[in-house]
């Protein structure tokens, strides 16, 4: 909620002037022309963060240094002041803001830059309760997404002198097509067709779609790495099932198929011939073959160990002989030489040198000679053992060849055994292909969790997309507008506007009021007389603010109407030149009906809505008008005193 407690203008010499207002009430400034009444709208708009100043050239523009507003917010009070542009500039970023439970109006020397325009707009949006709503244009349109801001909300709060009697445009600034489009885009949000829940759902939909794209990328990368691997796995499984090596269902997941192939690879495959029947001779020959294969493996292992030992012993003997030859040099020395004497000069050597004695060298020579002799003696026996093993191995291989010949002859005599042999060969071939595939398959991550998550996200996307769809929002918007139209019709009847006996509606597509007559819809631009134009502007804005206030929507809770009586009469009008007293009285009654409607609506809303009116009339016979009159700008009283200096 934002309402205005006071408008404050500051002079260049440090003085200031306060124009007071009451929140939740009607506030009227009545005065003569050229006293600054119409400047109030531009002052308030500029102080609330307008892009450019919209105050006519004159005393207000040249004799004022700062525009200030004392605001009532839902959190207390706030004072906002903005420095006027220098020279011929259109804007100034020097802005002062102070917020508290209660804020006294600061003096001129206290004003300084505490924020800029963007900071001020963010604060105002927070005080008004505007959330992070972002309008997404329909598919096919090139407009950028539009975020609702305080500027959009303020289009419902102002009706300038040139706008209030305009027959073509209903809202502040909507003669600009870009402003008009922004009103159309944000109206569903400000009316409540788009709630904070919608905003949260919209953000959640974006997050869900982003996560879906991320998971889809990961799955695509996994598929690219896998290539045709899954098809290859399906082919191998089909072959394995055809020969009885697997029973996995075709609808199994990729991970299950890979596991099934791994089981086939690591499970011993039974001999197909053993399953062929009761051929006793074939089974006997198969058992003999198994025993011969076992003997062959045993003999082969024994032969390999014997040859390894033979090689090691021959190497040891050669090394021993070479070492013995080197030790033969010790025989040149005397046998009784001291243990630690030099072998050549027999001089004693230091104990620390630790040189082996001649006796130690002779003992080593004798030991190595004995070991070398033993190895030379053992070598013929090792060769004999190897020859015996080779003879046995050759015999086993011969018997295996004979066994193979007999098995082949038996299988040829039995068709069933021939089929079993073919099956066994096929199994061996498939098993080999499976082993090759499993050795070369890419190391793929398990994507089953991502697939389950993707399915859940897509279901959530459908639900959220339906909740934020254009059709859903349009249905809610139509419901909101139906309630606004009810207020609109009632208010139009109360002040007896033309076509008020027909159903009236706010056309959100064309931003106008339409009367649905039995013949055809009649838009506001086709309704005659300035009185009707002013009346429809007022009743439309009162209807909207009644809805905004009753629903707690994030729109500042005030409406400024400038010169609402202009279409009826001037206060200086006298019965003359064809203007009768009866006509003047009729116009007065029409204007008083407008004021009466405004008073009634504000009172009904019980402090939730404030109206500011700047106009010429001063109805001394109307108690409510007089109670709402805050200042009379006549007899020299103006917004800006005459003695305020211009900018240096």
User: How many C-beta atoms surround the C-beta of residue 265 within 10 A?
Assistant: 17
* Cα distance between residue 62 and residue 644, in whole Å: 10
* Cα distance between residue 249 and residue 257, in whole Å: 9
pLDDT: which is higher, 79 or 427: 79
CB 523, CB 536: distance < 8 Å: no
Instruction: Please state whether 563 falls in left (phi above 0), alpha (psi between -120 and 50) or beta.
Output: left
Q: What is the pLDDT of residue 257?
A: 73
Structure tokens at 579: 């203007």
Residue in 188, 103, 141 with CA at minimum distance from that of residue 471: 188
Average pLDDT, whole number, for the chain?
Answer: 82
pLDDT: which is higher, 134 or 73: 73
Q: What is the pLDDT of residue 345?
A: 65
Q: What is the pLDDT of residue 111?
A: 95
Residue in 555, 559, 553 with CA at minimum distance from that of residue 598: 559
Q: What is the pLDDT of residue 278?
A: 47
pTM: 0.64
Helix (H) or strand (E) holding 532: helix 530-551
What are 524-570's pLDDT values in tens digits?
999 988 889 999 999 999 999 999 999 999 999 999 999 888 766 55
Residue with tokens 């109407």: 561
Q: Which residues pair with 158 in a beta bridge?
A: 560
H-type alpha helices, 441-517: 448-467, 470-494
Q: Detail the DSSP E strand segments found in 104-236.
A: 134-135, 146-147, 158-159
HEC per residue, 237-264: HHHHHHCCCCCCCCCCCHHHHHHHHHHH
Strand order in the sheet with 629-633: 158-159, 558-562, 610-615, 26-31, 629-633
Q: Span 293-321, mean pLDDT?
A: 75
What are 485-526's pLDDT values in tens digits?
999 999 999 998 999 999 999 999 999 999 999 999 999 999
């Amino acid at each position: 909620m934002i309402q205005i407690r006071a408008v404050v203008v500051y002079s260049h010499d440090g003085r200031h002037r306060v124009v007071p207002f009451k929140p939740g009430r009607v506030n009227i400034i009545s005065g003569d022309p050229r006293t600054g009444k119409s400047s109030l709208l531009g002052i308030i708009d500029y102080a609330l963060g307008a892009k450019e100043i919209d105050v006519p050239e004159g005393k207000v523009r040249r004799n004022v240094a700062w525009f200030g507003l004392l605001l009532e917010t839902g959190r207390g009070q706030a004072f906002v002041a903005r420095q006027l542009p220098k020279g011929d500039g259109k804007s100034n970023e020097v802005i002062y803001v102070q917020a508290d439970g209660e804020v006294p109006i600061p003096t001129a020397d206290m004003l300084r830059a505490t924020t800029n325009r963007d900071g001020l707009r963010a604060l105002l949006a927070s005080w008004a309760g505007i959330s992070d709503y972002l309008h997404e244009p329909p598919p096919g349109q090139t407009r950028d997404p539009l975020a609702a801001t305080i500027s959009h909300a303020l289009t419902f709060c102002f009706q300038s002198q040139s706008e209030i009697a305009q027959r073509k445009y209903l809202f502040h600034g909507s003669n600009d097509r870009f402003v008009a489009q922004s009103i159309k885009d944000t109206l569903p949000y400000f009316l409540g067709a788009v709630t904070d829940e919608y905003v949260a759902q919209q953000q959640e939909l974006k997050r869900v779609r982003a996560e879906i794209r991320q998971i889809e990328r990961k799955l695509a990368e996994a598929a690219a790495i896998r290539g045709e691997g899954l098809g290859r796995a399906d082919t191998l499984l089909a072959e394995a099932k055809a020969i009885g090596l697997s029973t996995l269902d075709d609808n199994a997941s990729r991970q299950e198929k890979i596991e099934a192939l791994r089981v086939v690879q690591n499970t011993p495959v039974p001999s197909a011939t053993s399953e062929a029947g009761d051929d006793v001779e074939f089974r006997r020959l198969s058992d003999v073959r198994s025993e011969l294969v076992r003997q062959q493996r045993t003999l082969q292992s024994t032969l390999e160990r014997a040859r390894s030992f033979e090689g090691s012993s021959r190497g040891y003997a050669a090394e021993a002989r070479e070492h013995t030859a080197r030790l033969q040099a010790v025989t040149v020395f005397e046998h009784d030489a001291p243990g630690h004497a030099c072998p050549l000069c027999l001089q004693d050597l230091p104990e620390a040198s630790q040189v082996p004695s001649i006796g130690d060298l002779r003992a080593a020579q004798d030991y190595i000679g004995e070991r070398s002799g033993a190895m030379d003696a053992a070598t013929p026996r090792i060769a004999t053992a190897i020859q015996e093993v080779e003879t046995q191995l050759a015999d086993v291989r011969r018997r295996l060849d004979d066994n193979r010949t007999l098995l082949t002859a038996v299988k040829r005599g039995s068709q069933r055994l021939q089929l079993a042999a073919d099956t066994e060969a096929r199994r061996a071939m498939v098993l080999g292909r499976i082993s090759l595939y499993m050795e070369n398959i890419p190391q793929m991550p398990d994507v089953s969790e991502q697939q389950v998550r993707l399915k859940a996200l897509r279901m959530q996307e459908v639900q959220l997309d339906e909740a934020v769809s254009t059709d859903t929002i349009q249905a809610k918007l139509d419901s909101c507008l139906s309630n606004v139209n009810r207020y609109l019709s009632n208010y139009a009847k109360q002040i007896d506007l033309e076509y008020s006996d027909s159903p009236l509606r706010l056309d959100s597509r064309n931003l106008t009021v339409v009367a649905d007559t039995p013949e055809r819809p009649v838009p506001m631009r086709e309704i005659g007389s300035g009185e009707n134009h002013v009346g429809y502007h007022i009743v439309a804005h009162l209807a909207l603010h009644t809805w905004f206030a009753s629903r707690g929507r994030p729109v500042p809770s005030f409406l400024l109407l400038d010169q609402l009586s202009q279409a009826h009469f001037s206060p200086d009008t006298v019965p003359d030149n064809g203007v009768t007293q009866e006509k003047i009285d009729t116009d007065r009654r029409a204007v008083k009906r407008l004021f009466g409607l405004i008073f009634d609506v504000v009172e009904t809303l019980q402090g939730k809505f404030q109206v500011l009116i700047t106009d010429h009339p001063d109805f001394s016979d109307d108690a409510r008008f007089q109670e709402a009159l805050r200042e009379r700008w006549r007899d020299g009283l103006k917004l800006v005193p005459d003695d305020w200096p211009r900018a240096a």
